Structure 1
Amino acid sequence: MIKAGGVIVTRPEPGLSETMRAVEQAGWRAYASPALHVIQYETVLSSVANPAGIILTSGQAVCGAQAITADRWLPVYAVGDRTAQRAQAAGFHRVYSAQGNAESLVALLKKQVAPSAGTLLLLAGDGQGNALLARLQAEGFDVVRYVTYAALPAENIDEAVQLALIKEGISNILFFSAESARGWIRALSPGAALVQARKTTALVISEKTAEVLLAAGWQHVRVALRPDAQSVLSLLEHK
């Protein structure tokens, strides 16, 4: 039985398809509306001869990890479980999940790696990872950042999605980062669709994401207990 009101998923691939399936399995009609378009860069060659490990802040960086090293026994430190699972699926054998955000990733590295162990490779998107880099360097780690992909904002929102909003067929919108929330709002045509979007419940991954939605006029915003996709999806189970 389909529940009343559809759910818009703003997550880009990788992750969009699996989230769509999860939403539909929970009994909702899912609408794909990725806020970002991810472009993987060409093979990035590391200038570090014997790195101590790879740091992944996003599942989008897994392709870069595959390209940057052939050593699948090199330790990989992932921000969350889904990124860790993607690294394992890519063939990496020693994968550790921080189960959270950048703060928990720093805590994991402090626990697992001695600063003297060697250089860590931080793989990130264009314009991302600089704050984490500075934090780790302040903790005494030798870290080199590599840009392996770019997340570009969507230029517009699909007409079918906008029509569903206008006809009040949407009850929830899932947002997985503050950046994607800002991008999705900018891409949505001003007018009736935006007015109706503000009336939906935004289910978001973090307080920073919530701040973007509240500033844009949303009245109903719910924040996941943990900063991961599964926790965002769990908010649907309690509606």
Structure 2
Amino acid sequence: MVRVLVTRPEPGASRTARRLEAQGFQPVLLPLTETVTLPVEAGIFPAAAAVAVTSANAVRRAPKELIATLIALPCHAVGKRTAEACRAAGFMSVSVGPGDAEALADAISGELTGKEMVYLCGRLRFPMFEERLAVAGVRVRPVETYDTIELDYSDDAVAARLSGMPVEAVLLYSAKAAPAMMSLAMRPTLRHLFERAEFLALSARIAMALDGIGGQKVRIASQPDEDALLKLLSSPG
């Protein structure tokens, strides 16, 4: 049975593990990051015409008081999973984007030119989404609801998680987790656990953070979503 290392934080890691088991793979959980809630005041945004969310964590970590002030606005979610989180939080009108933050910015910029938009987001994020909207004349009000921190493991802890056995594939969901994974894979006492593994990245940006780990071992999902990422496990390298 193919052993697949899941590096995303909970609760997503366990959800991915269930999907892998259903497809006949053996998941091994080693979250390399975790999300923590940031203190956020409810705030009032009388000029806001819409809300954008590019991470499900951003809406899950948002206080209910803040969501209550925004739920009547059109909500633009980056993809299906984030849209589900937005609906669960109470947003009444949620549109599903193309799965990529930059593509979402391009898709919504026309209707929001000259208007203000509230952006529920994390402290750690790529600037392109906000930059593209600003160029299009959209006033973006970022509200940071969570932060992402890197988890540190000792060699013994990693070996225990992997039961001392190599993995054949590593799933990478973020550019913050990628260099952390590279660091683990290069440790002398752990190298043998990853030397035969393929590193499967959710996007090209994440794959770039793996520079130096061996380009022949890195593959990129055709779309920035988990369905496409897991398809790599069943397709030839």
Q: TM-score range by the shorter chain?
A: 0.7 to 0.9
Q: Determine the structure 2 residue equivalent to 1:115.
A: 113
Q: Give the match for residue 141 of structure 2.
A: 144
Structure 2 CA distance, aligned partners of 1:158 and 1:18? 26
Do structure 1's residue 59 and structure 2's residue 56 form an aligned pair? yes
Q: Which residue of 2 aligns with 1:220?
A: 217
Q: Which amino acid is 2:209 matched to? A: V
Determine the structure 1 residue equivalent to 2:229. Answer: 232
1:147-158 alignment, distance < 5 Å: 147-156=144-153
Shift of 1:127: 3.2
| Cα distance, 1:129 vs structure 2 | 4.7
TM-score normalised to the size of structure 1?
0.86
Equivalent pairs, count: 234
Task: Report the equivalent of 1:105.
Answer: 104
Match of 1:87 in 2: 86
Segments of 5+ residues of structure 1 without an aligned counterpart are: none
2:116/2:140 contact within 8 Å kept: yes
RMSD: 2.4
Q: Which runs of 5+ in 2 are unaligned?
A: none
Change in CA separation of 1:201 and 1:188 when aligned onto 2, cut-off 3 Å: closer
- Whole-angstrom CA distance in 1 between matches of 2:74 and 2:43: 16
| Inter-CA distance 224–129: structure 2 relative to 1 (3 Å threshold) | closer
1:73 matches 2:75 = no
Q: What secondary structure sits across from 2:190 in the alignment? A: helix
Whole-angstrom distance in 2 between the partners of 1:57 and 1:65: 17
1:193/1:170 Cα in 2 relative to 1: closer, same or farther (>3 Å)? same
Contact 1:33–1:158 under 8 Å retained in 2: no
Distance across 2 between alignment mates of 1:164 and 1:41? 29
- Structure 1 consecutive aligned stretches of length 4 or more whose deviation exceeds 4 Å: 157-161, 163-168
Q: 1:166 to 1:30 in 2, by over 3 A?
A: closer
Distance in 1, matches of 2:134 and 2:207, equals 29
